[in-house]
Amino acid sequence: MLTINQTYNKYALPAKQNMYTGTIPVQNDTVQFKGRVGHEIIKSGKKNLTLIQETAFFREPKTLDYAVEYAKNKFADASKLRIIVGACSSGEEALSFKMLMNGKKAEILGFDAGESAIKQANRNIYQISIPKDKKNENYAKEMGIAAYRDSYLGFTDKLTKQEKKYQHLFNKMFEEIETPKQKVSFLDKFRNYLLEKMGRYPDIEIKSRTYKVKQPEKLNCKFMVGNIEQMDTFIPNGKAHILSFRNAFYHIMNEDLEQGERTPIPESILRPTLSNIAKQTNKILKKDGLFILGEHEDKQGSNMELLSEVLKESGFTEEVQRKNKYCNIWRKVSDL
């Protein structure tokens, strides 16, 4: 059996997506054009897939807090927790897990299908952004954009108790550095223009502050390109305490059409794909390990009824009460 470290180094891009990648927006050194609402376009066969890489620190805190507390208690005897964050985008979710460990040792692997997102994650440099004014803020809210919901980490004085706790953890891990001036190339502008035309991104004006991880060598957090459908090629069996794959199933359950539209993949084709993912998830988790989904996946266009059915067939049980018509935290009860 390979150790997790050997495994990380052994496998590179999953075959299906080892192709041209174009990035939207392309970054000039460390900075994204519009905060952390990035996109990346990859080729899959003859098709272009638009990966939406919107994310935020401490996104969906109830779920995060629940999973971390559960793992700390359930696996109290483990010398360290092993956490896999699939669809990690530029790394905010993985580092949120790390911060919430608050003393408990944890080894974290983040993977994402997007090469550019992983490059960004490996930089250990993040921006906290906030819409520039009320008008832009309302626009972001109306669009349901989650990327700026961590703006309190860098911009707000009046914090709730929970925000204070998160800001404290954030300041332990990060230090502020100068925000570089953002240059936007003609190509970036053109791509952003196209995305806006597709209704993908409104041109929200933001202001940002930039932070870097103080001691990256102590993070014990790795990022790699990987596809959840091929986890068995890069994650060892039976070692993980948590696998998170949040706010990404809509990429798997729908087919990208032109103009940014998506159409649901028929159940007969989708079921084997989900079944394959559920089986691999079962394999990489320890008994009683958790599989975590986002809190609003049904509203993002994912067939959560079907996924729930498949998870039940694959050795999982509902760990928390259903919200939004499905359960978003599942526990592995048996091997397959």
Ligand X SMILES: C[S@@+](CC[C@H](N)C(=O)[O-])C[C@H]1O[C@@H](n2cnc3c(N)ncnc32)[C@H](O)[C@@H]1O
Give me the least distance between CB of 38 and ligand X, in Å please: 8
Nearest to 3 by CA among 161, 235, 203, 228: 235
Site pattern 123..162 for ligand X (x: CB under 6 A) = ----------------------------------------
User: Considering only residues 59, 72, 149, 222, which one is a binding residue for ligand X as defined by CB under 6 A?
Assistant: 59
Binding of ligand X by 51 (CB under 6 A): yes
Contacts of 128 (CB under 8 A, 6+ apart): 57, 150, 151, 153, 154, 155, 208, 209, 211
Binding of ligand X by 96 (CB under 6 A): no
Binding of ligand X by 93 (CB under 6 A): yes
Q: How far apart are the C-alpha atoms of 146 and 60, rounded to whole Å?
A: 10
Q: How far apart are the C-alpha atoms of 223 and 162, rounded to whole Å?
A: 28
Stretch that binds ligand X, among 3-11, 82-90, 151-159, 301-309 (CB under 6 A): 82-90
Q: What sign results for the dihedral spanned by CA atoms 138, 140, 146, 152?
A: negative
Stretch that binds ligand X, among 4-12, 192-200, 246-254, 262-270 (CB under 6 A): 246-254
User: Considering only residues 25, 110, 114, 315, which one is a binding residue for ligand X as defined by CB under 6 A?
Assistant: 114
Stretch that binds ligand X, among 2-10, 25-33, 46-54, 120-128 (CB under 6 A): 46-54
Give me the least distance between CB of 334 and ligand X, in Å please: 25
User: Considering only residues 248, 285, 290, 329, which one is a binding residue for ligand X as defined by CB under 6 A?
Assistant: 248
Q: Which of 192, 244 has the CB closer to ligand X? A: 244
Binding of ligand X by 252 (CB under 6 A): yes
Inter-CA distances, 142 with 50, 95, 96, 104, 152, Å: 22, 27, 25, 38, 19
Binding of ligand X by 251 (CB under 6 A): yes
Give me the least distance between CB of 227 and ligand X, in Å please: 4
Q: How far apart are the C-alpha atoms of 77 and 151, rounded to whole Å?
A: 36
Residues in contact with ligand X, total (CB under 6 A)? Answer: 23
Binding of ligand X by 53 (CB under 6 A): yes
As given in the structure block, the two tokens for residue 17 are 């997506």
Q: Which of 183, 272 has the CB closer to ligand X? A: 272
Binding of ligand X by 63 (CB under 6 A): no
Interacting residues toward ligand X by CB under 6 A: 51-55, 59, 86-87, 89, 93, 112-114, 117, 227-229, 246-248, 251-252, 294
